[in-house]
Structure 1
Amino acid sequence: MGGSEAEYVFPNFDDTTPVPGAPKGCLWGFFDRDGKKDEIGTLNLLARDVVTAASKEIQTGIHVQLDWPLHSLTYPSFGRKPFHHRIISLKESLSTFGFDDEIHINTQSGSQWDSLRHHACQQQRVFYNGLTFEESLKSEKNGIHNWCERGGIVGRGVLVDMVRFYESRDGKAPNAASRHEIPIDDVVAALKAQGTTTRQGDILVVRSGFVRWHNSATDAERRRGTFEKAEFIGLEASEKTVRWLYEHHFAALVGDTVAFEAWPPQPDSPWILHEWALGWWGTPLGEMWDLERLSEECERHQRWEFFLTSAPLHVRGGVGSPPGAIAIF
């Protein structure tokens, strides 16, 4: 099915259509068509012409899956259940030499997409496009099935490799198991150092080093860092960051850390990125993606743009999903 051919010309941040109870920069209603409330937000930017242009990034045929293995996160944060995998022999039940398997996952305990019904704007208790918390309890609105029914997520991915940037500039990267805030000025500097220019409808992918840290950490370090302390590297949640992200109009935002933004957020801050992305804009958030081999291929190709596909689990009303993501060079 894919995206439509609609063209979107965004107002300036301060000139967005006023929405009662919402801040300037809110995009509720912007993607509505024919009297129907939109449920996919900035994925509308992945129109057919945008996807066709993105396909030109396929030049070598090398491809990298970006899902971290489901069992990887040893100690999920915030009381979430760890991944469980059970293999079932068919010898007794079917008199067949073979196997089935069953898995249990909390979709927030590994590589994931956050859907537009995952995290509300807390003070207002509303999700994207005005869906209330109370209405969401009894409806499937803003669920991930909407993404699947449009054909999944396909577009141009752009990696901004903050680990390599900091190692080159400072000699080492920040501790990923700490609440280190990455200023948006550093993101801009890293893009410039890579020679990367973004465009409307891109999927911005930020490597900050959490997966690399976790892969090399001891069991005790993992328990302390992800379960007991639960502080993580990520983008700085500030007015400057929010305005920069708005001005670049990305289709989705992805990171290799637990919450994309530095976590936990500052209490009562008006600039929490989860609220701006998921709530006010309808921009999907990808978290804990495995960007390690992707970083290597970008360095080898000396380009940080690639064709990106993602097929989330087709679950009606789904709140989150493994991404099923592949980058193709």
Structure 2
Amino acid sequence: MSTTSTSERVQAPDQLPWDPNCTRFPTRKELPKIPGAPKDAAWVWGKDDQLGRLNLLTPARVKAAAAEIKLGEMIRLDLPLHIPETPAFDREPFQHQIKELVEDVVYDDTYTLNTQSGTQWDGFRHFAHLDTKLFYNGTKATDFHPTDPDPHKCSIHHLSTHGLATRAILLDYRHYHRTTHPDDPYDPYTAHPITLSDLHACARAQGINPLPTARGGDIQPGDLLLIRSGFVEQYHALTPAQRRAPADLCWAGLAQDEDVLTWLHDCYFAAVAGDSPTFECWPPTREGAPGGVMHQALLACWGMMIGEMWDLERLAGRCREVGRWTVFVTSAPAMVFGGVGSHANATAIL
């Protein structure tokens, strides 16, 4: 690490492991080349690291983020567990049963669910780098076997143990597009790519400078990025029969291009989340690495959790009312040893 002033601590790219307490980190172009890692990998927090970008959530940053709590209003960001009624990608729908232990007196209940079936976090076991088949920080699929000497590499419980509490920035792209392009609406149930220019224009319309603080912007290391594309709004507008119908697997989301990827990397978000089933535009708008499927870059290369199908409707409406787009968010992923993903269990506090 090198230091340029008493207030700025700059992380040198090749000085591993990186210090999460730094205030300025290398750009995507400056990432060190790590032996055995895919190009563009940021396996920089230590050879045994399991947290990825959550390393940025230092006590100092969490304490500073708490200053976003001004009204004390809590808004839950999870959909009910049974939504959507027909999960995408042939995933199992949520099932709930009540068990009577003592007649008329004592009851339990049991859940059967797929952690990817509703509001969720994609953990680091969810998606590998496609060409190398490596998961975050060099983990392999064979490391997931129960008989492996360390069967919990990239497990969701590491993220749960650390916890997630930080400042979130909500970009309400659905509202921005509707108000600035009233004659050119888009359907969230189509492959509508949200480009970097779209994101920047949306942010500036909300009074946010979309550049990282290192470049004079408003995005701080460790922020959580929230994108409202309109999927949840559209879901609630469907008829019961349409909600039960198999999904067409087409959704609006972030474009898989180099500009978007570089912005996501260089802003040093702790994690990202959106309201669609994939966060990124689906199907992908272009093929090839590191574009094509954004999941491989975020999860496998950078250790950046991806939240999907978050319910941002009430939060977006309240942010418009109070005129600010930064809030404090907490999330408690499931404490499941060896787990792949988790429901978000997320709350925004204004």
One fold, TM greater than 0.5?
Answer: yes
Give the residue type in structure 2 aligned to 1:86.
Q
Asked whether the equivalents of residues 255 and 286 of structure 1 are also in contact (C-alpha less than 8 Å), the reply is yes
User: Which residue is 1:62 aligned to?
Assistant: 73
Q: Which residues of 2 match residues 145-294 of structure 1 at below 5 A? A: 145-150=157-162, 152-171=163-182, 173-196=185-208, 197-224=218-245, 227-265=246-284, 266-271=286-291, 272-294=293-315
RMSD: 1.7
Aligned AA for 2:31? Answer: T
Amino acid at match of 1:148: S
Q: Which of 55, 65, 68 in structure 2 is aligned with 1:44?
A: 55
Letter in 2 for 1:165: Y
Code of the aligned partner of 1:143: S
8 Å CA contact 2:87, 2:247 repeated in 1 = no
Q: CA deviation at 1:22?
A: 4.3
- Give distance in 2, aligned partners of 1:232 and 1:178: 5
Q: Distance in 2 between matches of 1:83 and 1:250?
A: 31
Within 2, Cα distance between the matches of 1:69 and 1:153? 21
Partners of 1:112 and 1:320 within 8 A in 2:
yes
Residue type matched to 1:42 in 2?
R
For the structure 1 residues 316 and 221, does the alpha-carbon distance in structure 2 shift closer, same or farther, using more than 3 Å as the test? same
Secondary structure (helix, strand or coil) at the match of 2:90 reads: coil
Secondary structure at the counterpart of residue 200 of structure 2 = helix
**Displacement after TM superposition at 1:134 (Å):** 2.1
Aligned to 1:118: 126
State the TM-score, normalized to the length of structure 1. 0.91
Partner of residue 7, structure 2: none
- Secondary structure of residue in 2 paired with 1:69: coil
What is the SS of the residue equivalent to 2:328? strand
Q: Contact 1:163 / 1:173 at 8 angstroms: preserved in 2? A: no
Q: Partner residue of 1:141?
A: 153
C-alpha contact (below 8 Å) 1:21/1:124 kept by paired residues: no
1 CA distance for matches of 2:348 and 2:53? 20
The answer on 1:86 being equivalent to 2:97 is yes
CA shift, 1:7, in A, is 2.5
Report the CA distance between 1:12 and its aligned residue: 2.5
Q: Is the 8 A contact 2:23 2:221 kept in 1?
A: no
- For residue 32 of structure 2, what is the amino acid of its counterpart? T
Task: Quote the Cα distance in structure 2 between the aligned partners of 1:228 and 1:304.
Answer: 31
CA distance in 2, matches of 1:136, 1:321: 17
Q: 2:343 aligns with which of 302, 307, 322?
A: 322
Q: Partners in 2 of 1:6 and 1:261 — Cα distance?
A: 30
Equivalent-residue separation in structure 2 for 1:21 and 1:52 (angstroms): 37
1:9 deviates by 3.9
Instruction: Could you tell me which runs of 5 or more consecutive residues in structure 2 were left unpaired when the two chains were aligned.
Output: 1-18, 209-217
SS of alignment partner, residue 42 of structure 1: helix
Residue 158 (structure 1) shift: 0.7
In structure 2, what is the Cα distance between the partners aligned to 1:228 and 1:307?
33
Compared CA separation, residues 6 and 132, structure 1 to 2 (3 A): same
- Cα deviation for residue 69 of structure 1 reads 0.6
Contact 1:306 1:328 (C-alpha < 8 Å) held by counterparts:
yes
Distance (whole Å) between structure 2 residues aligned to residue 299 and residue 190 of structure 1: 13
Gaps of 5+ in 1: none
Q: CA deviation at 1:8?
A: 5.9
Residue 7 (str. 1) matches residue 22 (str. 2): yes
How many residue pairs get aligned? The number is 316
Aligned partners of 1:174 and 1:21: how far apart in 2? 42
Range with bigger deviation, 264-273 or 317-326: 264-273
Q: Whole-Å Cα distance in 2 between the matches of residues 142 and 44 of structure 1? A: 14
In structure 2, distance between residues paired with 1:240 and 1:137? 37
Helix, strand or coil for the counterpart of 2:92? coil
- Please name the residue that 2:325 is paired with: 304
- Residues in 2 aligned to 1:5 and 1:176: alpha-carbon distance in whole angstroms: 36
Following the alignment from structure 2 to structure 1, what is the Cα–Cα distance between the partners of residues 33 and 23?
Answer: 18
| Matched position secondary structure for 2:265 | helix
Letter in 2 for 1:312: P
